[in-house]
Structure 1
Amino acid sequence: MDILLLSNEDTCRSRIAQELLHTFGRGMNISTAGVMEGNCVPDVVCNVMEQNGYGISRKKPSGVGAYAHRSWDYVVTLCKEAEEELSFLTLNAKRQAHFNFEDPFKNRFQSEGEQEQQIATLYETMYRQLYEFYRDELSEQLLPRCTCGANTYCRCE
Structure 2
Amino acid sequence: MKVLILCTGNSCRSQMAHGFLQSFDHTIEVYSGGTEPAAQVNAKAVEMMKEVRIDISSHVPTHVNTYLDQEWDYVITVCGGANENCPTFSGKVGKRLHIGFDDPSHATGTPEFIDSEFRRVRDEIRKSFARFYITEIRKEALPQCSCGGNC
The bucket for the TM-score relative to the shorter chain is 0.7 to 0.9
Unmatched 5+ stretches in structure 2: 146-151
**TM-score, normalised via structure 2 length:** 0.86
Q: Which residue is equivalent to 1:65?
A: 65
Kindly indicate whether residue 141 of structure 2 is the aligned counterpart of residue 142 of structure 1: yes
Kindly indicate whether residue 125 of structure 2 is the aligned counterpart of residue 126 of structure 1: yes
Q: Which residue is equivalent to 1:85?
A: 85
Q: 1:99 to 1:45 in 2, by over 3 A?
A: same
Segments of 4+ moved more than 3 angstroms: 109-113
Contact 2:23-2:54 within 8 A present in 1 as well: no
Q: Which residue is equivalent to 1:153?
A: none
User: Alpha-carbon deviation of 1:24?
Assistant: 1.8
Q: Given residue 130 of structure 1, which amino acid in structure 2 is its aligned partner?
A: F
Contact 1:15-1:57 within 8 A present in 2 as well: no
For the residue of structure 2 that corresponds to 1:58, the secondary structure is coil
For the residue of structure 1 that corresponds to 2:11, the secondary structure is coil
More displaced, 50-59 or 73-82?
Answer: 50-59
Alignment RMSD: 1.9
**TM-score, normalised via structure 1 length:** 0.83
Q: 1:142 to 1:110 in 2, by over 3 A?
A: farther
Q: Which residue is equivalent to 2:40?
A: 40
For 1:61 and 1:115, the matched residues in 2 are separated by 22
Aligned length: 144
Kindly indicate whether residue 11 of structure 2 is the aligned counterpart of residue 7 of structure 1: no
Contact 1:25-1:139 within 8 A present in 2 as well: no
Identity across matched positions, percent: 24
Q: Which residue is equivalent to 2:97?
A: 97
Unmatched 5+ stretches in structure 1: 151-157
For the residue of structure 2 that corresponds to 1:3, the secondary structure is strand
For 1:27 and 1:97, the matched residues in 2 are separated by 21
Contact 2:12-2:41 within 8 A present in 1 as well: yes
The Cα offsets for residues 12-61 of structure 1, whole Å up to 9 and x where unpaired, read as: 11111011111222431011000101111122111111111111143331
User: Alpha-carbon deviation of 1:8?
Assistant: 1.0
For 1:142 and 1:22, the matched residues in 2 are separated by 16
For 2:76 and 2:104, the matched residues in 1 are separated by 19
